[in-house]
Amino acid sequence: MTSFSLPGMPIKQSKVLQDVRYEIRGQLANHALELEKRGYEIISLNIGNPGLFGFRTPETMRLAMIENLGQAEPYCHQKGIFPAREAVVMQQQNRGIEGVTADEVFIGNGVSELIDLSLRALLNPGDEVLVPSPDYPLWSAAVALNGGIAQHYRCTEDNGFVPDIDHMESLVNSRTKAVVVINPNNPSGAVYDRETLQKIVELAENHGLVVMSDEIYDRMVYDEAEFIPLATLATDTVCLTFSGLSKVYRACGYRVGWCVFSGDLDRAADYIHGMELLSALRLCSNVPGQWAVQTALGGFQSIDQLVAPGGRLYQSRQAVIERVATSDVLHLERPMGAMYAFLRLDERFNGKLDDQAFAIELLENYHVLVAPGSSFNTPYTDHFRITTLPDTETINAVFDRFEACLLQYR
């Protein structure tokens, strides 16, 4: 019997979306907007959006975009303009990554689009991808949207949120196609050491897996932490490196990201052709923002001052660390990278208050918006994530509200 819709019947969303979650901009964020419309001032800490907290894109990048607007009116090549791709190549070469040319670089509408395209070009229905837990939920969502199954490997707080390699290995089977690495990590702020990265690469090489390394926070590291590009280690398997202008260069609205293929490029030839086809179908990514890439990567790296002691990002992170150190209701594994803190509620709240209930209470009565930890595909419900972008005064005010909110449950 033919199935069809009748007039007046509700139009249901696709079943493909049943495993897709993105609570960072979900119901809580919508409720925050409703509260703002009613006149309440909400401190939104759910998204790492530098421009909302007074950070500016470097002026040289703005000027580069403005001066090339005349060349930004036509479509460009589906992979992106050559100066932008060549600038990415130079960055990779300066990091010791060999064999990459502009042909292996794809420019997209932010890293988000490239995550979707790279998974769509790779996966067949039922294929599996190893994804960290906690993860940036777009990765799990994109796997599901493209017919795959996300298998989450543990990155636990008692291990510094570093990947559990043994657990990762136990998840590999004949359907596993790729392993996702987010370093520096969102949401935990963990920065992986060389030994950990080398073990991940060895696992990928032993099983013929594609390595997908999300490095959007690559220059955003603190204290003694060292960022190690995964592509410098992954030479005997296919490696995709993702980065862009949004975070390090505070240009989220430009929507410019890149994906670089490296490693065993002969094995990746057909995969790259698939990416080319998908890129061509969407014609090209935003052209004006691409003209800022060469200036961004080749110019003065102002991020280095922001993450050094005395810099605003460093001081805001330090304020979070200090407030947690004096709290008896909150705990934190010190973030060594990115722009987030992944906070844990004290054990005394177990059975009384989970991350969702806390986030709702905090929003409705204390007007602070956070992201519940379970939004990041965790099996536990006692964490929540905040961005460390606000100034220290705002962070201290927020922690006063955290403490007041939790006092009633303590």
CATH of the domain at 24: 3.90.1150.10
293 shares its domain with 385: no
Is 196 a domain residue?
A: yes
Closest CA to 118 of 13, 233, 238: 238
132 shares its domain with 238: yes
Is 382 a domain residue?
A: yes
Is 286 a domain residue?
A: yes
Is 54 a domain residue?
A: no
Structural domain span for residue 280: 59-298
Q: How many domains does the chain have?
A: 2
Q: What pLDDT shows up at residue 277? A: 97
Specify the residue for token string 């922001």. Answer: 306
CATH number of the domain encompassing residue 183: 3.40.640.10
Is 11 a domain residue?
A: no
> Would you write out the chain's pLDDT as a tens digit for each of its 410 residues?
555 667 778 878 877 777 776 666 778 889 999 999 999 999 999 999 999 999 999 999 999 999 999 999 999 999 999 999 999 999 999 999 989 999 999 999 999 999 999 999 999 999 999 999 999 999 999 999 999 999 999 999 999 999 999 999 999 999 999 999 999 999 999 999 999 999 999 999 999 999 999 999 999 999 999 999 999 999 999 999 999 999 999 999 999 999 999 999 999 999 999 999 999 999 999 999 999 999 999 999 999 999 999 999 999 999 999 999 999 999 999 999 999 999 999 999 988 899 999 999 999 999 999 999 999 999 999 999 999 999 999 999 999 999 999 998 87
Q: What pLDDT shows up at residue 22? A: 67
At 20 the three-state DSSP class reads: coil
pTM for the predicted model, two decimal places: 0.94
166 shares its domain with 35: no
Select from 298, 319, 345 the last residue of a domain. 298
- DSSP per residue, 151-191: EEEE--GGGTT---HHHHHHH--TTEEEEEEESS-TTT---
Q: Report yes or no: 316 and 388 within 8 Å, Cβ to Cβ.
A: yes
222 shares its domain with 358: no
Phi, psi of 207 (to 5 degrees): -110, 5
DSSP 146: T
38 shares its domain with 78: no
Is 347 a domain residue?
A: yes
Closest CA to 112 of 216, 184, 228: 216
354 shares its domain with 292: no
247 shares its domain with 332: no
Is 170 a domain residue?
A: yes
Q: What pLDDT shows up at residue 24? A: 66
Residues 6+ apart with CB under 8 A from 128: 148, 149, 150, 151, 171, 173, 175, 176, 177
Select from 244, 273, 298 the last residue of a domain. 298
165 shares its domain with 238: yes
137 shares its domain with 105: yes
Helices (H), 247-354: 269-281, 287-290, 293-298, 303-306, 312-325
396 shares its domain with 294: no
Q: Report yes or no: 346 and 329 within 8 Å, Cβ to Cβ.
A: yes
Closest CA to 137 of 385, 390, 389, 363: 385
Select from 298, 318, 340 the last residue of a domain. 298
140 shares its domain with 263: yes
Q: What pLDDT shows up at residue 409? A: 81
Is 14 a domain residue?
A: no
146 shares its domain with 271: yes
